[in-house]
Amino acid sequence: MNLLTTFTLLMGNPQGGEQSPFSMLIFFGLMILVFYFFMIRPQMKRQKELTNFRKELKKGDKVITTGGIFAKVADVKEDHLLLEIADDVKIKVDKNSVVKDPADIAQPR
């Protein structure tokens, strides 16, 4: 029996009769699984990678701030970084404002 036939049998009477509550429960369960595996789980994985990246920053790493500034890490403190953006030009930024990839920056809509 193929997947389409199985799904049709679970959905109930195709001639317009009442649908069983069990079939609706299965449908909502499948929707929740799809949302989890295609939306929530990848976002959680990306967030974990970004957190690990920020923890492992060291002097000399090249980073991008959420404001779009490309810089090199000059010093790492517990909650902030000292970034060198040009020769003898350093700025102090929060660790949470640093990303490793421009795709990690939220795009305005």
Do both 21 and 6 map to the same domain? Answer: yes
The neighbour count for residue 87, using CB atoms within 10 Å, is 5
* Mean predicted lDDT score pLDDT of the chain: 84
Domain that holds residue 51: 1-56
Say if residue 22's pLDDT is above 70: yes
| 48: amino acid identity, one letter | K
Where are the extended beta strands (E) located within 9-97? 62-65, 70-76, 80-86, 89-94
Q: How far is 53 from 48, CA to CA, in rounded Å?
A: 9
Task: Give this prediction's pTM.
Answer: 0.62
Across the range 15-36, mean pLDDT stands at: 82
What is the average pLDDT across 101-105? 65
Q: Give domain status of residue 69, yes or no.
A: yes
Share of the chain above pLDDT 70, in %: 74
Q: Are 34 and 81 found together in one domain?
A: no
Quote the number of domains for the chain.
2
Q: Is residue 84 part of a domain?
A: yes
Above 70 in pLDDT, residue 103?
no
